[in-house]
A and B are shown apart, each in its own frame.
Chain A
Amino acid sequence: SVLAKYEEICEQAKYPPDPKTSFVPTYVVNLDLPPSQRWVEISKIYQKPLAALVTYIKEFALEFSPKLQKIIDLIDNKLGKLADSLPAPYGEEIKGIANATNIELGELVLYNIFYEVFTL
């Protein structure tokens, strides 16, 4: 059904979309705070959906091949150290998010360099 034909038209009445389904909240990140503190409040609010995303990607990888557990262990145990090599203030900001959410630092590093990884 996804691939069913549809008429290619230039939409003319889509704006503004229904706020019930399209609303995006706005938050303030205070750059005067130390990098490790900047995202704490926001990260705590979104701990559950962020953890759900990370968990899903791990489960997807394992469903794809149980052998990928080795890669996941490598990410959890080794990739976190990469945060120290990332340019300031980004490494410290990511560490702050990991602390606030209890998500493995290595997994959050991977999430933050996903653009580069995805070009693989």
Chain B
Amino acid sequence: CTSIVGEDSKGNMYHARNLDFGLFLGWDVQNDTWMVSQLLRPLIINVNYTKGGQLQYKTVTFVGFVGVITGIKPNSFSISINERFGANGGYIGLFEWFLNINRNQAWTTFLARDVFENDNMDFDGVIKTLTNTPIIAPVYYIVAGPEKLQGAVVTRDRAKTVDVWTLGTNDTWFLAETNYDHWKKPLIVDDRITPCNRCMNKLGHEKMSFEGLFNVLSSKPVLNKLTVYTALMELKTGKLETYIQYCPTPCDPF
């Protein structure tokens, strides 16, 4: 996955992401893609959650999946989730839940939906909740708000927050996160962050927009054979656009 939060030169906040999924679960020889990725593409939907006839929040999900991996509450906040691998991985939390040893920990994607369900949440409240709640598996929560510089990447272990990286640090106008801690080098065979940062810097502050973000997220290897969709979100308006993605061969398998 790749998530980007950032602002244009007028301070309008954007949040965009590629969702990559299906690694090592079979190869579709006919379509030159991962089998599970190919089966997931027809299940991608946008969901508008309403209460009393009023829109509460919007998400992008796969039919049958009720948690939140990508979502936006207009003029309030947006969240995307990127997978984080660690030695203390999700299996410990899973076993603790299955065996009823510890159920005081949240499921990562249900916690994300919980904050959308809460009527009183704003950007700071979201960061506080996602930072302080024990969770079952390590994860990156990428969060944006409608005000200038409201962007952050929360790097989570199961029990604690490892790091909160905020927009504006070292004069940054965007933050990009893949599946590695931002202060470490990615695996040499899976370096999507370097081309992503290069393309964002080439795009520039002034051209930050849905078009610019989509172009960056469509640039190989940010776009790869695992990419099933690109979602684009504008914080103030709550505008959400989602596009199914394919990576034509030649293209990195992940």
Binding site for B on A (CB under 8 A): 1-6, 8-17, 21-32, 39, 42-43, 45-46, 49-50, 52-53, 56-57, 60, 82, 85-87, 90, 93-94, 97, 101, 103, 108, 111-113, 115-120
Contact = CB atoms under 8 A, between A and B. Distances in A.
B63 A46 contact: yes
Given A11-B219, A116-B93, A25 B250 contact: no
Given A26-B45, A31-B50, A2 B251 contact: yes
Interface in B54-75: 56, 60, 63-67, 69
Chain B, interface SS category: mixed
Interface residues of B, number: 78
A86 B100 CA distance: 12
B50 A117 contact: no
Contact of A112 (B36, B67, B91, B93): B67
Given A10-B215, A24-B242, A42 B137 contact: no
B12 interface: no
B137 A53 contact: no
Given A115-B137, A119-B90, A26 B46 contact: yes
6 contacts: A6-B220, A8-B220, A24-B46, A28-B47, A85-B100, A111-B64
Contacts of A85: 97, 100, 103
Given A11-B219, A24-B46, A90 B250 contact: no
Given A21-B244, A24-B60, A60 B108 contact: no
Interface in B68-123: 69, 81, 83-86, 89-91, 93-94, 97-98, 100, 103, 106-110, 113-114, 117
Nearest to A35: B66
Contact of A57 (B36, B69, B117, B139): B36
B40 interface: yes
Interface in B17-45: 25-26, 32, 35-36, 39-40, 42-45
A77 B249 CA distance: 41
Contact of A90 (B32, B97, B110): B110
A82 B117 CA distance: 22
Of the listed residues B43, B93, B221, B253, the one surrounded by the most CB atoms of chain A closer than 10 A to its CB is B43
A24 B65 contact: no
